[in-house]
Structures are given as structure tokens and as C-alpha cells.
Amino acid sequence: MDALDLARWQFGITTVYHFLFVPLTIGLSVLVAGLQTAWHRTGQERYLRATKFWGKLFLINVAMGVVTGIVQEFQFGMAWSDYSRFVGDVFGAPLAMEGLLAFFLESTFLGLWIFGWDRLPRRVHLATIWVVALGTWLSAYFILAANSWMQHPVGYAVDPATGRARLTDIGAVLTNSTVLVAYPHVITASLVTGAAFMLGVSAWHLARGNEVEVFRPSLRLALVVALVGSVGVAVTGDLQAKLMTDQQPMKMAAAEALYETQAPASFSVLTLGSLDGSEELWSLRVPRVLSFMAEGDPDARVEGIDDLQAASVERFGEGDYVPNVPVTYWTFRLMIGFGVLSAGLAVLGLWLTRRGRLPASRLFWRASVLAIGLPFAANSVGWVFTEMGRQPWAVYGVLPTSSSVSPTMSVAEIATSLSVLTALYGVLAVVELGLLVRYAKAGPPAVPAHSPDPADEDEPVLSFAY
């Protein structure tokens, strides 16, 4: 491998690893806020215990997400200096907003929420966790706005003196059509991720008869959110596919391994053949579905890889503009497949737990525990699909990936940093998993039989939630 290949592996490993924590944080923030709201409205102890239990797991995940995010930024500056110089003026604005506004809200009010139990009035304390959720959602928007600029660059001009992108319209960057479609897709996927985590842990306890009064409401909440989130993922995914066909038609063609332009085009459920598309041995196809996915018209024309490669050569000059088709094809299907399994389990769970029932089948409990990994897998392969399908561009149509890597980094240096970061992430994974398993198995904490609102007390009650 050369330096570029190693740098791409390093980027892929650090980004996918960091992205394991982000959707869970986004999803759990809202679920924890919802449970605390239920306690605030009903006064029932089971909701308070559930809030503190899931809040503890939420905090562990937030801490690990911050650590891995810092490491990711470090590798950007080290291995992708030319890329950082080119996009710096554009990315500075949304990333500054993310740090000064979103992360400030999230971290400040998270501290108030942690230390505010029995010190802040309940209404104020409840508001802090909702502000934390707002901060995580805002943070996701600004980060996605920056990433969407790489997918569909707008609001910029290339400075002829420096050769760098210069921001000309921050409003265009923040309202980029790509981020407006990608954001709800990521948010709904994050809700499914948080719900699957809550479902799996609840199922583990319920299968053993532990704390049924606490975990059954959590289970039902998780199933409802997983189903609603899955529907949202499907709808926003369809919108993304149509926008992707318009902005990056090569990515859609590669996702289908569609080499020849077709009208109407069928959707490949599974195709076996040569990697270059020259020979198709066997395929299972659904007629006209790809045309509808791409254009919203079952008879629409969908351009193939061969025609798009020729058009790219004419537009950008000689070169290979075809992404890795097998990776793009399979990550697209795995993303959809994992999502469908999550939605199916949510439907089954809602049916089995209707009218106060609990499933008697151990198979359902085991499937629910294993299903924790489904959204994480879907998010990861979806991210790989998004980034790999854009190749050979770092910034689509503007900056090739080959021109983004640090020119002064040697193969040995990048290989060393790749090994160190991978080892570090391996250690962090063991720590994260160990903490989550330990505290998830411990179950919800006990709470006082009557916990007065500090606003009604003359003397504040000094206590610590965790």
C-alpha cells in the first residue's frame, strides 16, 4: 500500500469507530429526556429509576464519543493536511458553530443535569436534559453541513491566488439541499440506534424477571421509537436516493452495479457476476424499482457506469471516476437489510407486548439482545457507502482524494500512526464495552421513597445522582 491507501484506511477506521458513539448519544439523549418527562408528569418511581439507569449509560457513551472525536480531528491534521488547507475556510464556520453553540449547550447543561439532581427545581432540572438533547441534535446538524459540502459543494469560490476554497455564502452551506435531506435520515437512524440499545438491555433483564416494573415501560418505549424511527429512515432514505441520483449519479449506478444505462431500470436484490460488470451469472431483480428509487418514476431512465465514466472524462479529463463497485454495492444492501431487520423486530415486539403482555419466547429475548448491533452495523456500512461512493473525490467534482493527503507524510509514518490509533481504539472499545456491560447488568438504582422537590424545601438536599 502507498501513503494514500494507508491514510484512507486510517480515515475509515477512525470515522467509523467515532460514528459508533454519535448515533447512540443522539438517540439516547431524547429517550432519557422522555423518561424523565414521564416521571415529572406522573411522579411514578419507576420512571425516575429508569431515567437514572439509562442516564448513566448515556453518560458513559458521551464521554467515549468526545474522546474518539478528538482523536479523529488529530488524524485529519496529520494525514490530510492538503485537504484541511483546501476546506479550512469553508469548514471553519460550521465547525465553529458546532463547538461554540452546540457543544457548549450540550456540555454545560449536561453538567447541570449530572450535578443538579435534588439541587435544581424539578422543572429546571428537566429542562437541562432537553437542552442537552437539543445540543446533540444541533451538533449533528453542523457536522453534517460540513460533510454535505464535501458531497455537494455550494456557497464557495476557489481563490486563484491560494488555490483554496473560500466561503462566500454561509447560508448556502447551512441550507445545502444535501444536508436538508441527510440530517433527518441521520436523526431517525440515531433514534433507531438508541431504541435498539434500550430494547436489548431491557430484554436481557426482562428475560430474567429483573425489575419488570422499570424495564417493561423502557421496552415499550424502545419498540415504539424503533418503529417510528425505521419508518422515518425509509422515507428519508428514499429522498436521499433521488437527490443522490441528481447530484452524484455515479454513486447510484455503483450502488446497483448498473453498467449499462436502462429505462426502465430494475432493482438488484442480489446479483452474482464479474466485478467489472462484463458478465452477469445470476441475479434476482424487481422490475422498475430502481427507476422509481432514482427518479420517482417507474419508467425513468437511469444512467449506467459506462456512460457516466465517459461523461466524467469529458468533464474532468482523463481518469478513473468509478468507485469501488463491490464495496458500494454490498454496503448499500447491508444498510437496507439491517434496517429492515430492526423494523421487523420492532413490529413483532409491539405485537407480543400488547395489552400489558410480555413475550414468553426466549428466542424473542435473545433476538432483541442481538439486535443491539443491527443499527450500529447499518450506520457503519451506510457511512462507508456514502464516503466510498463519492470516490475518487474528497470534495465532489472539485478536490480529488489523491490531492488531499499530506505530501510530507511517508508510508512508514502513516503506517505507524495507523497502528497506534487502531490499538488505541481497540483499548477504548474494551473500556467502553466493559463499562456499558457492567452498569447495564447492575440494573436501575434504588431511589428514596419520597424525593421532595428542592424548590419546596428550605434546606437543599445534598446528593449525587451517580
On average, the pLDDT of the chain sits at 90
Residue 386, C-beta contacts closer than 8 angstroms, at least 6 positions apart: 151
Partners of residue 157 on adjacent β-strands: 166
pLDDT value of position 465: 47
Q: Is 285 helix (H, G, I), strand (E, B) or coil?
A: strand
Amino acid 358 reads L
Kindly report, residue by residue over 381-407, the tens digit of the pLDDT.
Answer: 999 999 999 999 999 999 999 999 998
Find out whether 94 and 144 touch, Cβ atoms under 8 Å. no
**pLDDT band with cut points at 50, 70 and 90 for residue 464:** very low
| Residue 453: per-residue pLDDT | 64
* pLDDT score, position 77: 79
Residue 70: the pLDDT is 76
Q: Exposed/middle/buried for 188, CB within 10 Å: 0-12, 13-18, 19+?
A: buried
Helix axes 325-352, 373-388, angle to 10 degrees: 150
Cβ neighbourhood burial of 35 (10 Å; 0-12, 13-18, 19+): buried
Backbone torsion region of residue 249, taken as left when φ is above 0, otherwise alpha when ψ lies between -120 and 50, otherwise beta: alpha
- Max CA-CA distance within the chain? 80
- Does the pLDDT value for residue 78 go beyond 50? yes
SS3 354: helix
pLDDT at 174: 96
For residue 275, what pLDDT is reported?
64
pLDDT digits (tens, 9 = 90+) for 258-278: 888 999 999 988 888 776 666
The yes-or-no verdict on residue 56 having pLDDT over 70 is yes
pLDDT tens, 194-237?
Answer: 999 999 999 999 999 999 999 999 999 999 999 999 999 999 99
Share of residues in the chain with pLDDT > 70 (%): 95
Which pLDDT belongs to residue 463? 47
Question: Tens of pLDDT along 96-116?
Answer: 888 888 888 888 999 999 999
Q: Above 80 in pLDDT, residue 419?
A: yes
Q: Which three cell numbers stand for residue 275?
A: 466485478
For residue range 314-358, what is the model confidence (pLDDT) as tens digits?
999 999 999 999 999 999 999 999 999 999 999 999 999 998 888
Identify the three-state secondary structure at position 461.
coil
Reduce the secondary structure of 394-456 to three states and give it as a string: EECCCEEHHHCCCCCCCHHHHHHHHHHHHHHHHHHHHHHHHHHHHHHHHCCCCCCCCCCCHHH
**Span 143-170, pLDDT tens digits:** 999 999 999 999 999 999 888 999 999 9
